[in-house]
Amino acid sequence: MPEHLHPPTIGTAPDPAVVVARTLDWYAGQARDLPWRRPDCSPWGVMVSEFMLQQTPVTRVLGPWQAWLDRWPTPAALAASPAGEAVRMWGRLGYPRRALRLHRAAQAIVDDHGGQVPADLEELRALPGVGDYTAAAVASFAHGRRAVVLDTNVRRVLSRVAAGEGQPPAHVRASERARAEAHLPRAAGRAARWAAASMELGALVCTARNPRCEACPLVDLCTWNLAGRPEETYRPRTQSYEGTDRQCRGAVLAVLRDAAGPVATTELRTAWPEHRAGGADQFERALTSLAADGLVTAIGAEHWALPGD
């Protein structure tokens, strides 16, 4: 029997090489055709996708990603535009601070890297808005570098397959990084494909809720499945969006995005009438936090605008 078909003994973690081989075989036939995965996609296109995909489903990102690249095909093109235009173009993707961070990252790429997205992990981490995950993802997906790419999907796959845990904990532990390192192929190209494949497996099959174990190429290797899928010790928190400060912030930003210039405070208040959940206090709190984040700018005493408007 070929090595990649051998199931593990119950209670023991499967051989990482077998896990990688099976996942890559599955990915070769099941990978989605996403534009930022295509060979002609630039490193900048990959980087934009990584910013947009943070906490946002792929289906919501496809259109905005293409529109963004059509308008700003290079970091230099974005850096030359006002930050407020980035916020406006971000539209309803949510978490609009990502737009500001991407704009600042574009400026840093122009100032410090000649307008080219760097491939080095440390140089990527030094860019505004780029943490460990995004740096590794850009190095791997844009430049084919060997890097540990640990998003929620990859963490869940490895937690179930190798550790027998239904869900990863809220924060990355040292043991998770060690586990990920153990599964990372030595060859850079294979490591980059593994990063994409394990992420895809978590997104399409090994999902947080209602995993499709019957369609999983690792089902007979998975220690969590072999143990009877025990109840996880960590459960993802579910939060309602309705009536939250985040919803209020979004309503205020929507008015400013649609405006041609500064908007009076009295007009902004109509975005969140006093009868809404938090009323006037929540509106003031949202406006103050938007200003603190640099997403809106005060124009005089009674008007507001997106930065640069």
Which residues are tagged catalytic?
50
Residue 102, C-beta contacts closer than 8 angstroms, at least 6 positions apart: 47, 48, 51, 78, 86, 129
Alpha-carbon distance of 176 to 233, in angstroms, equals: 16
Q: Sheet harboring 303-305: ordered strands across?
A: 263-264, 303-305, 297-299
- Name the residue type at position 156: R
Beta bridge partners of 305: 297
Instruction: Count CA atoms closer than 13 A to 271's CA, side-chain side.
Output: 25
